[in-house]
Structure formats: C-alpha cells, structure tokens
Structure 1
C-alpha cells in the first residue's frame, strides 16, 4: 500500500496538469453555490484539507445552504488571495466540476445521493439513474450494519495502511471512487481486527460524511 501523501494535488483546468496546492491555509471559492455537485466537491476539498491539518477558508458567489447533504452553509464573499476556485467546467474555475443529473430525489436518503455522486470522479459527468442511488443506499445499510457490529467489541488503534491508502487517494486529485474501493475492501478484510476497522472507518467518515456510525447502538 502507498505511503501517506501529505500534499493535496488537483487537476488545474486551465493547464490540464495535476499540480500541488500551495502549503498554508487552504482558501476555496465556490463559483456556483446553487450547484450541489460543485458544493460537494468544495466540501470534500475542505474536509481533506482539515484532515491534512490545514486551516480552510471558504467563500462563495452568494450564500447557500445544502446542509441536508452534509455540506456546511456557503457564505458570500470575494475570492481570497490565492483561492482555489471550484465551479462548473465553463466557469473558468481552477477546479472544474463536470455536469450531473439525478432522478427525482424525494424520499431518498441524502447520504445515499451523496455516496452515488462521490462514486463518480468530480471532473467526469455523472448521470445517476434510480439504480445508482438504490445501490448506494444498499451499500450504506450494509456498511452501517458492520460498523454497528464492530462497535459492540473492544476498540483497537486505527489500521495505518488502510488509513494511508484512503488519504493518498483523496490527495490524488480527489480520487474519491478509489478511496471508496479501499473502504469497501476494509469492510471485508477479516485480517484486520473489528475494533481497528471501526476506528479506521470512523476516521474516514469524517471526510466522506456518509453517517456510517448511524446504526451504532442498535445491536
């Protein structure tokens, strides 16, 4: 498994090159606060930045609140010096988010929609049919059940190789699909103690925000 990657690297829309984000505070500017996928991408960048112990400052073209999808409110403000712009592919943003569509989401658990979107790389189009959201909901139920079962036993230290591999994927131009594959592998890895799997999953969920501990206490 790869070593921990401490630098966030992103595809620069203007140059087509993957470049490292400068050290220091991570400043984000959201071009389209009404676009859920743009805001989700900015939220993932914010969460990865915090995991890397960087101060994160976010401003947006106007205020918006997508708290139902696990995204903190967007506050209006001008781009801060050196800000990483996040927007759709035609916005001129440095991080270009591809188009997306989804079926009617009424009655859909927000975390299932979030997971279905995260399974597509942010710079690739995501046209989610009902089956994609249903599959995400089924996986969430399965993962939460396992987390609840592990929580009934003793805790163990985080399993460093899995934690490092997931963070390495997230630092590699937000390769969330790869991080989710690693998460799924951890769920089934019987060579890792349940308590270690629990703590590793809980740490990763601080970034993914899929409410994986939701079933703890129900077993």
Structure 2
C-alpha cells in the first residue's frame, strides 16, 4: 500500500485508506515557476502510483496566477491534465483528499498534505539568476523569464534551456527526494539528458531479445520504493541496478524498464526499432 508523509503531522498515512475508494488529488501552485512545475509533477506521480493499484483518482489544480501558461508547461513535461478546482464542487464522495503544495501546509482543508521543496533555476547565460526573475528563478512581475519560456507561447527564446528537453527535466526532478530543494542549471539537465539517452538506447537493444517477465524480487523493490512516500530516487536506483546486473536476461531488463515507466513517464521505449 502506498503511504505518504503527511506534512501536517510528520507521520506516514495511507494515500488510499479505503480500497478502491475515490481519492482526490489537489495541486496548489502559485503562478508559473519551476517550483510550481515540481508541485504538478509530484501530483502527477501520485496519481500514476495510485492508478497502478487500481485506485480511482480525480485531480484538480488551484493556481491563482499564470494558470494557462502553467498548464501548457505541465503538458510539455508529460504531466497529465488537471481539472480546474474553480469549476468543480468539492466532495464528490471521495474517501480522501490529498493536497500537494510548496506553500504553508495549514492553508488547506481536510486531508493529508504532501509538501514539495522549492526548485532554483540558475541556468541563465550570464551565470546568475535568469533575466526577469526574482532570486531562485521565480518570475517577477515582468512575466515568465526567457530562460524557460514555454514552447508555443513565445517560443524558446534566450535558449529556453529549462524546457528545451522536457524528459531530461522530468528525470532531473525525479532524481532528488521531494523534501529536498533542487538546484537546476544546464549542466544538471545535460547530465540527465545523457542518462536518459543511454537508457533509451539500452531499452531499444534489450527489446531485440526474447521477452522475460520482470523478476519478482525486482518488482517488489520497485513497488517498495514508490510506495514509501513516492521514493522516486529509490526507483531510479533499482533501474541502475537492473541495468548492470550480470545474471539478468536482457528481455527481463526490457520488461522492468517498461513496467517502471508506467510511473516515471520518461518515454524509455521511445527508440524501439531505431537500431539497425
């Protein structure tokens, strides 16, 4: 069973206390900035983890500023759509509501709160904070900084480094525990892109071998990781171990990565068929 750490109490609680009971996930994001994207990504991962156990989920977004731009950026990052909390009545018979936020945890209604640590983007060409931002890479009143302008809304001017490779950004964020701040720059994204490209090549190669089931021990380690307060770095550690395990058939490596990608959504099988 998936347990999450309730930031209100500091204690772990079941994410779905009633088996097959409807769970509402409400993401609270204040405007368009990297931390808001991390909030939405955390909510997206929580939804995917619950759905893997058959739990019905509905999701809502509360964002007082930059609502449309935030949704566009989230879609770019492979985050599935949210309902608009302003258009929905609360209490659809759900067994529990879970709030995901980077703000004060006592600002919301009933239900546990998943707190998300902030993200700092330091990848401006000048080496300092991106133009048009406050400290920590948060857009000031001038609007969204060019450094991470959203595709389709002004293009990727100024390099657009933060969202230039959305899957690499997603992997970089998954690699840090949710309770720890993230400091992003071009070097971090390049490292994540390199890791992602290597995994995609490996998956494409493993796919050419006879399929084998995910070993039960590996499946258990994966589920134990993500059911422990969404420990995504732990999930990635399991994948690294599977990649280098000397006695594991390539077909089992392939099925393991495809299985884990149902949660990670990194498009690990993208390069299938690309090898000669």
TM-score between both structures, scaled by the size of structure 1 = 0.91
C-alpha displacement of 1:191: 1.0
* Inter-partner Cα distance in structure 2 for 1:157 and 1:25: 31
CA distance in 2, matches of 1:79, 1:90: 21
Which contiguous aligned blocks of 4+ residues in structure 1 show a shift greater than 4 angstroms? none
CA–CA separation in structure 1 for the residues paired with 2:22 and 2:251: 34
1:54 aligns with 2:50: no
Between stretches 23-32 and 176-185, larger displacement belongs to 23-32
Contact 2:8 2:105 in 1 (8 A): no
Cα deviation, residue 190, structure 1:
2.4
- Asked which structure has the greater RCO (Cα within 8 Å, sep 6+), the reply is 1
**Which of these two proteins has the greater Rg computed from alpha carbons?**
2
Structure 2 CA distance for aligned equivalents of residues 173 and 67 of structure 1: 24
Deviation at 1:139, TM superposition (A): 0.5
- Residue of structure 1 equivalent to 2:29: 32
Unaligned runs of 5+ residues in structure 2 are 124-146, 149-159
Q: Deviations over 1:41-70 (max 9, x none)?
A: 000000100111111111122563411101
**C-alpha distance in 2 between matches for 1:214 and 1:207:** 15
Q: What is the match of residue 88 of structure 1?
A: 102
Contact 1:159 1:197 in 2 (8 A): no
Q: Which of the numbers 168, 177, 194 marks the counterpart of 1:121? A: 177
Alignment pair present for 1:160 and 2:216: yes
Q: 1:90 Cα deviation (Å)?
A: 2.0
Q: How far did residue 130 of structure 1 move?
A: 2.0
Matched residue SS, 1:57: strand
Query: How far apart are 1:168 and its partner, in Å?
Result: 0.9
Task: State how far apart, in whole Å, the 2-side matches of 1:161 and 1:169 are.
Answer: 12
CA deviation after TM superposition for structure 1 residue 79, in Å: 4.5
Match of 1:72 among 60, 80, 84: 80
Deviations 1:24-53 (A, max 9, x none): 222201111741000000000001001111
Which residue is equivalent to 1:183? 239
SS at match of 1:19: strand
Distance 1:158 1:101 in 2: 37
Question: How many residues in Structure 1 have an aligned counterpart in Structure 2?
Answer: 213
Correspondent of 1:131 among 187, 192, 198: 187
Distance 2:117 2:195 in 1: 25
Post-superposition Cα deviations, 1:122-172, rounded to whole Å, max 9, x if no partner, equal: 121111122211111110011111100011121111222112111111110
Gaps of 5+ in 1: 1-6
Moved more, 111-120 or 160-169: 160-169
